[in-house]
Structure 1
């Protein structure tokens, strides 16, 4: 456990889409100042709904890799007047504890979760539980990679339930903020945030003296590919773990 003053005098910038107030609460708990500048936003996609919404029980597994996928799936069930109990055949697979939590909140039990919260680990461990002949439906975002579809020998259909777009105000506000706030910590929770940061923000700032934190090796790879350093990456791919690790780094350096 870090000291309660580990982040005293530190500003922690959150670039992802806020899913709860827990990261900001934790930063303040350690004496830091959280600031949120979402670089991306998500919105529901409905163009494939009729193709899949009434066929859910044809699948053996529904696969979710994000809270957003769960959120928009839940909204579709409500819109089409489908109760959770009506989706009674497929088992549920989730990547990540937060995705699992979101599924439980709308009434679904999770039958499989990989030991590491990443799609590439999912495709390694999933065959230990699922038969090769079982059909899967991956409820994905528009920017999801082909890791699950190409990495499993199972038949995998993909239903894009939401899309990710650049936030119209976040990059501008972050540029203005960084102009007056040197040497803070910038956190990234997805490659999408990294892409927007690189294309929309970096050309307008001098990136020196900042601490950069990333959740997950895919986000880390995106930063490194862009030529940016990664100073903090937690072993557990959650916002809470990232804040904890930032607090430890900053606390140890004082």
Structure 2
């Protein structure tokens, strides 16, 4: 691809997710001519739920285990490690449901198939599509993070079913690179900030407010991974400029490229 065709040429992109996903996002941005700046604004750690022993002991009573994130899958298996008989998950009557492709992939790494995944990756759509398909579950287990909503659980409960929520991990704000972010904002270095969850934006805004960087932050373009993150951004008075139809980091990256491609074409037309 010629340099003039690179949609992100010279654009500075704030990437608020760390780990493998953040690294891949950085490489994708660089491959399209952009300058990635990775400042993780979210991280995860195991959470020790007081009801964990009950969930593990009674695992074979659940008809469904529903995962709402890849972290839910990872920390669930970390918590049950060697504590239950393998046949309960692999040869028992438990079925598995996931909220999206990344979660499905994470589950597949443990050699387990997902019986259900909604077409749109939100809790609301999960609940609606699950019951519209005629699926049911008198007792379900939902391994989740401490900030995840209870929408799926409530959708089962209002139908008279039991839905146990097991908090297997918690989200926290890693402060180690705060100074870097403050500098980027003070120097107006960034063109677009990409947020992968409401938490990443909330942590970003906390830094902006604490250091009185609002005027700088208002100059940025904002990309949100999905409608929940978009809503979080806009409830604080900021504008979401980019939001993909499919709620994945890859789709958000593609949408950012298309946004700048369109801008470049419109600029060429107006200059012509």
Using the size of structure 2 for normalisation, the TM-score is 0.86
Is the aligned partner of 1:38 residue 2:45? Answer: no
Contact kept in structure 2, 1:234 and 1:241, CA below 8 Å: yes
Q: Partners in 1 of 2:250 and 2:118 — Cα distance?
A: 19
Contact kept in structure 1, 2:57 and 2:84, CA below 8 Å: no
Higher helix share: 2
SS at 1:111 equivalent: coil
- The structure having more radius of gyration, on CA atoms, is 2
1:12 positional shift: 1.3
> Which runs of structure 2 are paired with 1:52-131 in the superposition (5 Å)?
52-80=55-83, 82-83=85-86, 85-87=87-89, 88-129=92-133, 131=135
Runs of 4+ in 1 over 4 A off after TM superposition: 130-133
Aligned to 1:141: 145
Write out per-residue CA displacement over residues 71-127 of structure 1, whole angstroms, 9 at most, x where no aligned residue: 1112123253653x4313211110111011111012210110000011111111111
Contact kept in structure 2, 1:40 and 1:170, CA below 8 Å: no
Write out per-residue CA displacement over residues 41-98 of structure 1, whole angstroms, 9 at most, x where no aligned residue: 1110123321212322210100111111011112123253653x43132111101110
1:151 positional shift: 2.4
Give the gaps of 5 or more residues in structure 1. Answer: none
Using the size of structure 1 for normalisation, the TM-score is 0.92
- Root-mean-square deviation (CA, aligned residues, Å) is 2.1
Give the gaps of 5 or more residues in structure 2. Answer: 265-272
1:243 to 219, 240, 253: 253
Aligned residues: 253
Q: Partners in 2 of 1:176 and 1:163 — Cα distance?
A: 28
Q: Kindly tell me: are residues 79 and 43 of structure 1, through their superposed partners in 2, closer, same or farther at Cα, counting changes over 3 Å?
A: farther
Q: Kindly tell me: are residues 252 and 233 of structure 1, through their superposed partners in 2, closer, same or farther at Cα, counting changes over 3 Å?
A: same
